[in-house]
Structure 1
Amino acid sequence: MIVRELSLQNFRNIADCTLTLGEHSNVLFGSNAQGKTNLLEGIYLFSTGKSFRAGRERDLIRFGCDAATLTLRFQFQAREQQAQIRLFREGRKKEVTLNGVKLKTSEMLGSFSSVLFAPEHLNLVKEGPGERRRFLDFALSQLKPRYYAVLSAYQKTVAQKNALLKDMARFPQLGDTLGVWNEKLAANGAFLVMNRYQYLSRINTLAAGIHRDLSEGREELSLRYLGFHEGLDDSGYRDLGAITQAFRRALEERESEEIRAGVSLVGPHRDDFDILIGGESCRIFGSQGQQRSAVLSMKIAECEAARAVFGEYPVLLLDDILSELDPQRQSYILHHISGKQVVITTCDRDRFAGLAQQNLFEVENGTIRRQQGL
């Protein structure tokens, strides 16, 4: 996977720019709040159709403008392709095209893949389960377009069931329709759980080896899926019918609790996974260095898992991440970006002086200027 060229018009603080990237290391440097991360965000949008930042889609459009246009020329499996995304402030839905053909966002997924590693990912261990679910959902949506479609349908059903549960406090007779929503949740939710479990199992194997290298053999990392489906073994997690039945049982057991709470309490929207070092919770017992090593191992594993699916590495996006890592971890990640196209943002260009075949770009107030290599 190689990005040839990214063009942005009226995107964030960027009025108009075209960034031509090399096949190896591309370093975007400049002071904070100049637009470096906006360029990574522009690339990442073509992977998932969504920003990795919080906020509304309309916030991606430059202040005072009605629309933004993003165009990406890239190579995937020896084929040159072009994708475009148009965003509108009012009145029109987002438009996505691939090689001139209009698509839904879900139909674009799998056509281009990138893996992002940003400072906020270091909170994967420390923060609540929502961050870890997001990690799985973003990764799986790129690898399996159907996953994104099922996830969207599941989230809509959860919202509809929640509305019903709230209304039941005043209109108990509405409870007759609760079973309909539960059946929809069980069907789609089981699919999500099966795919999350299988992906996490793959990441677990890859990340364990990476973490072993990173800790020089002193520590063992493992990941464990957590959810409503207690009692399922590995074979059960790979059986859609078994997961569906477990989901139905959990919904029945907690129905009265859900009615009292007025919200859906069971399902993959509440699931989580444990990050363990030596069998102990990394969140509770891990040092800051161990927590960062665990996340670093998971992100490199994400990259390797994508390669296994696509047959080539995804584009690796590093958003000022080295400033958050100690020298040992900096050295490790720099030695693991060879053979990949990497786009790196930094405030300190000298940090990457040793990178071979690098392209250097200065970013200032939304303007990009190519520089001579170090």
Structure 2
Amino acid sequence: MTKVLLFTPKYPPSRGGAATFYSNITEEQYDNTTFIVVTSLHNSRGLIEQKNGITVYSLLPRIERLHRYIRVPLEILVLILVSSYLILSKKIDLIHSHSSSFSVVGLSIVSVLFRTPIVNDCRDETFRPWIVKLGLTPLWFSCASNIDDILIQNGVPKDNIKRLPVVNPDYVKEYRSTNTPDELTDLIYIGTLRKPKGIFLLADAIKILHQQGMDIDLTVVGDGPDRSKFENKCQNNGIEDCVTLTGSLNHNDTLRRLTESDALVLPSESEGVPRVVLEAQDVGTPAVATAVGGIPDVIDHEKTGMLTEQTPESIAENVLRLIHDDELYRMIVESGVESADERSWERVGGQLREGYDRANKK
């Protein structure tokens, strides 16, 4: 039995792609693997909880009001103390770390002190290469080819990178609908409201569509630091009456909104493999997304989605193509669903098990 300390800053009831992905990994109950989860404090979760054989330690402070030069060292110190205790008391064999946080430095220190291998899991382009090379690191998990490239460019041997794909939970299929709308009018954006996500490009694209006589509504699911700026942008563009901001929603409500929409638009500046694109394919909602990061790995242009340049004009043009070409829309829905059905947690489990075995042997 392999005992794995799984660290992720976000775990349910926190929302988002990482929380969903890692909770599904632990809930799959892989043979010969026991997970102990370390994550951030959450108001609706106890400090230590056990359910279905999984123990969750919610001990990492996330005091955003503290200056980062105080907050980050505090998080690192707490993670060092907690992980040291768990390695000694629970006989941890392996550390599996979501690499997006500075706190990973603490795990790397503990990895060296106790000679416990650490596998850094790189899920998007925000990870810091120098951090994921610290510690006793025999293997790296990557979710997409662009992540592979970043690791290789920073000296990680290609043979030491293991693909751990993004896969939807099985219940996503319950929201599937492959009906073609009589008229494409309802767009949706799902994600954090901040500039790198392309939200201001999206507001300009909606303005262009309205100028061309299209009766388009936009639902925005999510929250973030640039929400007020985005609202001002919509007002300045004269589109505030057709834009609905829901704030953050739970996963089920988000999926329902996604299914009810005619197309997803994701105009990000950079991405790993965004879960929302995979979910859109799974439920039968075509995605229009910028050709950045790992998105081209999961969208075949004009087959399983539409790839766009990072300009309002290109975004609007690709939406217009879906509006005016029913056959293209129908083909993208069908091919996207087929692509989604090819992904499985069985494959994730196989890759995960192989990665753990390799890491423990080195």
TM-score, reference length from structure 1:
0.26
TM-score by structure 2 length? 0.27
- Greater relative contact order (CA < 8 Å, ≥ 6 in sequence): 1
